């Protein structure tokens, strides 16, 4: 502890020393750009939206506070051949020298940007403040009066196009009275172009659309006219109406090599078939069934060309794991005046079979071990892009701290799992139109896991049937139609039974070490406003996400047991084949948001909650479905499964530190440090509670007049190593409010910290949210 403190003091001293010489490498007659700010005299023009137009920004700050990388650079000496100086300069950032030329260009671009918002008289005045060798630049924006559209007219000679636009006029971005906003004008050009591309106008692009704007003398009003020019193949040609194209022949080429072919004549094919009127060309052997190709095709011969059909075809084929690339090309049919385009769907196959091996080290509360697995995957097992997977896993761990009466002190695990997924909605009685509309993936899976511990051995066998699909890139749905889990305890040592399971107060522990059947169904929904996939378990950019999960178990079995007047066992539970089944309902909600401050700093926060209610055939939710608090993805001032429920301090049995209700909230300030390192400062809050008052969890029951007093709070800092494909995360959390204590110094360790008592270190992969 003392060494750590000394190291911290030395580091702080070096940083302060460097800060005293922030201008060490600023040449004479030049200035270090210390600060840049934008001010606007109009609240409608937000300065924060204009920062991208600034040509020069000061050296970046860690946590928007300290220019650490500049100070690191200034720690280097002037000997550029020294390795330590090279390293410091590589890690740090050279000082940003104020440039009058960049300031002038920034003023021009800022003025143009504001003028494009409808403030055509906008002006930007730079203000320079110099102190010693540091310069501060302030851009002051005077917007002037806003120009608005007084009248709106259309100059369209093509009557067919005019009718299309009239029918879609409600979606227009142009309105009388609107600001003369160039962005809105360009969005309208793109909207019209998209509309026409989806109605057969294959050759149309937004360059055919232009505007004229006439200002009214003595006012700030504009008469706006939209012009849609007629078609010309060459500038000297006579203008004519734009042609609407229909789709002619659609062909498939399944062995397209994107790296070796540039024109159709270069494609290496030697055989072909016709299926329902569609030619399919291939080399040697067709690796996909013809029906799979035509079912994923959205382009229909004889219909007008529609860009949205092309994009849907791309999306459908992109879901097929048997394919690596998809490329769709259109060519005008001959003669040229036929107004027909032929389509070629060119596909590049993926590697269908693969074998992978994994080795990993394990550390469970200081007990070291190792695990290995091997898996085989076939991405096209039935020639319909079905993915088959089989995986074998083994693990070994040396367990310490056990009582001497156990025969061995090792943990062994053997497991096997297999699954097969189909890129379509497989369910009887569904119409083909429904299956076309919802492009779901159907998955069937089997898992078997055999765990051997000194205290007991356990077998977990499961089978599942699920569907998942996305309506668009933002939302994802998943239905677990049937998920069966069987927990079987082949053996339990006598000493473990006597010490734990025969104690009536350990009801939760006893419940979770009995044979149990869980038959559940569930639904989950995920929405990501950015439309991009989560990267290392987090969203990127200014975006938010919502996760919702609902599931229930045992209801159908309970109804059948009641209807058939089945007898209960000694514990008062209905059984199936003498195996008691769980019954519960569970719901979870998680909301998170990421707010970008600048290109190096962001604030991220999330709030989550969940409740699991046992009823009917059960008084306890199974262990696998209970909530835990503390750890790398929860309240980080506590170790994993070390917090709660409520004010319960724990008794050494992690099963008793579980609950039926969970609340979690976190906020992180994330910053880019240097190279691939990222930093974070965070505050976490939350806890878990039980719905019932269990004897072995005193103080754990949720009560409305007490729960808010039992919310734990922690704070800390983190270091993350961003390796692109995954992130290694190191977080250190300190307790700030400990709900175990009702009052006194121990309840508020934020004011009376004890590093040994209150600190928790976490290592994890990926962001916490």
Q: What is the pLDDT of residues 270-300, one digit of tens each?
A: 788 999 999 999 988 999 999 999 999 999 9
Residue 759: C-alpha distances to residues 681, 735, 754, 763 (Å): 15, 7, 8, 14
Report which of residues 257 and 33 the model is more confident about.
33
Q: What is the pLDDT of residue 435?
A: 75
What's the chain's length in residues?
A: 769
Whole-number pLDDT of residue 523: 97
Is the pLDDT score of 260 beyond 70? no
Q: Is the pLDDT at 1 greater than 50, yes or no?
A: no
Identify the band that residue 81 occupies on the pLDDT scale cut at 50, 70 and 90.
confident
Percentage with pLDDT > 70 across the chain: 93
Non-local CB neighbours of 689 within 8 Å, separated by 6+ positions? 644, 645, 646, 659, 660, 661, 662, 700, 701, 702, 707, 710
Looking at 191-200, 579-588, 593-602, which range is the least confident one?
A: 593-602
Separation of alpha carbons 684 and 760, rounded Å: 13
DSSP for 276-314 reads TTEEEEESSS--S-HHHHHHT----TTSBP-HHHHHHHH
Mean pLDDT on 180-196: 96
Interatomic CA distance for residues 467 and 482, integer angstroms: 10
Beta-carbon count within 10 A of 704 CB: 6
pLDDT score at 666:
96
Least confident stretch, 192-206, 379-393, 689-703:
689-703
Which has the higher per-residue pLDDT, 675 or 222?
222
Average pLDDT over residues 337-347: 91
Q: How confident is the model at residue 427 (pLDDT cuts 50, 70, 90)?
A: confident
At residue 177, does pLDDT exceed 70?
yes
Rounded to whole angstroms, the Cα distance separating 659 from 691 reads: 8
Q: How confident is the model at residue 268 (pLDDT cuts 50, 70, 90)?
A: low
pLDDT over 80 (residue 433): no
The pLDDT of residue 668 is above 50: yes
Residue 460 has pLDDT above 70, yes or no: yes
pLDDT at 505: 62
Please determine, for residue 24, whether its predicted confidence score (pLDDT) is greater than 80: yes
Per residue in 536-559, pLDDT tens? 667 777 899 999 999 999 999 999
Q: Is the model's pLDDT at 463 over the cut of 70?
A: yes
Q: What value does the mean pLDDT take over residues 75-90?
A: 86
Specify the pLDDT at position 11. Answer: 55
Model confidence at 307, pLDDT cuts 50, 70, 90, reads very high
Residue 758: predicted pLDDT: 92
**351-373 pLDDT tens trace:** 999 999 988 776 655 567 788 99
pLDDT at 768 over 60: yes
* Res 503: pLDDT: 67
Average pLDDT value for residue range 438-463: 92
Is pLDDT at 20 greater than 70 in this prediction? no
Examine the pLDDT at 566 and tell me if it is beyond 70.
Answer: yes
Q: What's the token pair of residue 574?
A: 């209905």
pLDDT tens, 513-542?
889 999 999 999 999 988 776 666 677 778
Q: How confident is the model at residue 404 (pLDDT cuts 50, 70, 90)?
A: low
In this prediction, what percent of the chain has a pLDDT beyond 90?
62
Please state, in angstroms and rounded to a whole number, the distance separating the CA atoms of residues 290 and 298.
Answer: 15
CA 442 – CA 120 distance, rounded (Å): 56
Q: What is the C-alpha to C-alpha distance for residues 162 and 533, in angstroms, rounded to an integer? A: 39
What is the rounded average pLDDT of the residues 445-469?
93
Q: Does residue 204 register a pLDDT over 90? A: yes
pLDDT of amino acid 263: 57
pLDDT above 80 (res 115) = yes
Give the pLDDT of residue 4: 46
Q: pLDDT band at residue 77, thresholds of 50, 70 and 90?
A: confident
- What pLDDT shows up at residue 3? 46
**More confident of the two residues 677 and 435:** 677
Angle between helices 159-167 and 182-197 (to 10 degrees): 110
What is the pTM (predicted TM-score) of this model?
0.84
Range 185-208 average pLDDT: 95
Closest CA to 243 of 127, 338, 326, 371: 338
**Per-residue pLDDT reduced to its tens digit, 32-56:** 999 999 999 999 999 888 999 999 9
What is the C-alpha separation between 705 and 417, in angstroms, rounded?
47
Average pLDDT of the chain, as a whole number:
88
Res 205 pLDDT > 70 = yes
- Looking at residues 220-235, what average pLDDT do you find? 91
């Amino acid at each position: 502890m003392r060494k750590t403190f000394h190291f911290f003091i030395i580091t702080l001293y070096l940083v302060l020393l460097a800060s005293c010489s922030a201008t060490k490498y600023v040449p004479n007659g030049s200035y270090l750009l210390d600060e840049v700010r934008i001010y606007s005299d109009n609240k409608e023009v937000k300065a924060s939206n204009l920062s991208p137009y600034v040509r020069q920004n000061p050296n970046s700050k860690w946590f928007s506070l300290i220019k650490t990388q500049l100070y690191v650079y200034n720690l280097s000496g002037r000997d550029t051949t020294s390795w330590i100086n090279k390293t410091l300069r590589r890690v740090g950032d050279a000082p940003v020298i104020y440039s009058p030329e960049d300031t002038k260009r920034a003023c021009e671009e800022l003025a143009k940007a504001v003028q494009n918002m409808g403030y055509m008289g906008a002006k930007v005045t730079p203000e320079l403040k110099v102190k010693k060798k540091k310069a501060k630049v302030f851009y002051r924006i005077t917007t002037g009066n806003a120009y608005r559209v007084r009248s709106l007219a259309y100059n369209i000679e093509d009557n067919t196009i005019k009718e299309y636009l009239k029918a879609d006029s409600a979606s227009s971005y142009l309105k009388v009275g609107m600001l003369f906003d160039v962005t809105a004008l360009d969005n309208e050009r793109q909207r019209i172009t998209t509309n026409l591309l989806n109605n057969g106008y294959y050759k149309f692009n937004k360059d055919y659309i232009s505007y004229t704007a006439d200002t009214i003398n003595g006012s700030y009003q504009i008469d706006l006219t939209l012009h849609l020019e007629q078609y010309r193949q060459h500038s000297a040609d006579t203008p004519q109406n734009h042609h609407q194209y229909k789709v002619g022949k659609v062909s498939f080429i399944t062995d397209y090599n994107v790296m070796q072919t540039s024109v159709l004549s270069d494609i290496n094919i030697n055989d072909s078939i016709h299926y329902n009127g569609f030619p399919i060309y291939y080399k040697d052997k067709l690796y996909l069934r013809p029906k799979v190709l035509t079912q994923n095709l959205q382009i229909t011969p004889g219909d007008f060309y529609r860009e949205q059909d092309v994009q849907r075809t791309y999306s459908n084929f992109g879901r097929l794991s048997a394919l690596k690339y998809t490329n769709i090309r259109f060519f005008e049919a001959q003669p040229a005046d036929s107004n027909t385009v032929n389509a070629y769907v060119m596909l590049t196959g993926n590697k269908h079979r693969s074998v992978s091996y994994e080795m990993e080290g394990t550390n469970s509360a200081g007990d070291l071990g190792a695990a290995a697995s091997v898996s085989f995957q076939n991405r096209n097992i039935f020639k319909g892009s079905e993915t088959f997977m089989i995986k074998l896993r083994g693990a070994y761990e040396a367990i310490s701290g056990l009582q001497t009466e156990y025969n061995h002190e090792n943990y062994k695990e053997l497991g096997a799992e297999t699954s097969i997924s189909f890129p379509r909605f497989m369910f009887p009685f569904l119409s083909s139109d429904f299956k076309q509309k919802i492009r779901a993936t159907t998955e069937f899976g089997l898992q078997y896991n055999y765990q051997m511990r000194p205290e007991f051995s356990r077998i977990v066998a499961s089978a599942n049937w699920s569907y998942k699909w996305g309506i668009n890139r933002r939302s994802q749905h998943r239905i677990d139609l049937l998920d069966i889990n069987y927990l079987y305890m082949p053996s339990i040592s006598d000493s473990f039974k006597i010490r734990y399971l025969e104690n009536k107060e350990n009801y939760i522990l006893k419940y979770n070490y009995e044979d149990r059947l869980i038959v559940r169904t569930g639904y989950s929904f995920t929405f990501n406003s950015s439309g991009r996939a989560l990267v290392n378990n987090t969203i990127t950019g200014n975006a938010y996400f919502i996760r919702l999960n609902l599931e229930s178990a045992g209801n159908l079995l309970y109804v059948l047991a009641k209807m058939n007047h089945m007898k209960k066992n000694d514990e008062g539970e209905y059984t199936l084949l003498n195996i008691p089944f769980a019954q519960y309902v569970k719901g979870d909600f998680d909301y998170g948001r990421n707010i970008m401050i600048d290109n190096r700093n962001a604030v991220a926060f999330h709030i989550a909650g969940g409740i699991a209610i046992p009823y009917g055939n059960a008084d306890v939710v199974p262990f696998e479905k209970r909530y835990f608090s503390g750890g790398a993805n929860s309240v980080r001032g506590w170790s994993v499964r070390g917090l709660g429920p409520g004010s319960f301090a724990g008794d050494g049995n992690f099963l008793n530190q579980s609950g039926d209700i969970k609340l979690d909230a976190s906020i992180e300030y994330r910053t880019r440090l240097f190279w691939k390192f990222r930093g974070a400062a965070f505050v976490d809050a939350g806890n878990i509670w039980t719905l019932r008052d269990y004897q072995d969890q005193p103080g754990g029951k949720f009560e409305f007049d007490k729960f808010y007093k039992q919310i734990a709070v922690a704070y800390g800092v983190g270091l993350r190593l961003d390796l692109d494909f995954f992130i290694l995360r190191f977080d250190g959390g300190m307790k700030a409010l400990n709900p175990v204590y009702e009052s006194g110094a121990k309840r508020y360790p934020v004011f009376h910290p004890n590093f040994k008592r209150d600190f928790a270190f976490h290592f994890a992969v990926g962001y916490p949210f």
